[in-house]
């Protein structure tokens, strides 16, 4: 059974274990960017603010991620208060290949609508074609690669590499879904 819940302070060790395993996986795959060791205070704040999430499979943490409602340093002038931003998706190795991004996207769309948001957004770094394909297959529109202007308050892996930005416009998606479901005039 799949369950999505807020992470809590008792999950800290497992969250950091997943981050460590994700970094090792990135190194093994020779990706352009490898996650650094994240600040404990960052995750503690996300947990306090109920922005750190976990996906449980039969009670076991399978995947974690964080959200925010503002991302000015990455999205710069495109940042707005009607967006939900997803960060640091990390999956336990034994659960890789289950395409949890699609599960997270479905959850994020619902959560965004419930909280009055129009966009679900995320980013990745460097020209990682497999990840770009993975996120677009999950429903995101790839907006392109951008050189970030001010990375001084971002984690170290954001330094000196372009960011790939992705978004799902929920209004556009709902409009296109309703258009597809309607029959053209004269067809019964």
What are 150-167's pLDDT values in tens digits? 888 888 888 889 999 999
Q: Are 1 and 57 in contact (CB under 8 A)?
A: yes
What are 23-55's pLDDT values in tens digits? 999 999 888 889 999 999 999 999 999 999 999
Architecture of domain 2-180: 3-Layer(aba) Sandwich (3.40)
What are 65-86's pLDDT values in tens digits? 999 999 999 999 999 999 999 9
**Helices 12-28 + 40-48 axis angle, to 10:** 130
What are 81-111's pLDDT values in tens digits? 999 999 999 999 999 999 999 999 999 999 9
Indicate whether 57 pLDDT > 60: yes
- Domain range summary for the chain, segments of one domain joined by +: 2-180
Mode of pairing for the β-strands spanning 119-125 and 83-91: parallel
């Amino acid at each position: 059974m799949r369950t999505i819940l807020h992470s809590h302070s008792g999950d800290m060790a497992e969250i950091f274990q997943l981050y460590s395993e994700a970094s090792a996986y990135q190194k093994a795959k020779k990706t352009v960017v490898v996650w650094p060791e994240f600040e404990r205070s960052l995750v503690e704040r996300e947990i306090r603010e109920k922005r750190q999430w976990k996906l449980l499979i039969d009670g076991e943490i399978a995947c974690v991620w964080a959200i925010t409602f503002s991302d000015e340093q990455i999205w710069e002038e495109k940042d707005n208060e009607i967006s939900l931003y997803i960060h640091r998706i990390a999956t336990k190795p034994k659960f890789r290949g289950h395409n949890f991004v699609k599960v997270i996207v479905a959850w994020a769309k619902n959560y965004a609508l419930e909280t009055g948001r129009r966009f679900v957004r995320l980013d990745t770094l460097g020209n990682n074609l497999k990840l770009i394909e993975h996120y677009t297959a999950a429903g995101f529109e790839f907006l392109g690669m951008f050189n970030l202007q001010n990375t001084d308050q971002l984690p170290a892996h954001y330094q000196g590499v372009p960011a790939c930005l992705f978004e799902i416009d929920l209004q556009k998606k709902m409009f296109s879904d309703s258009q597809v479901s309607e029959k053209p005039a004269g067809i019964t």
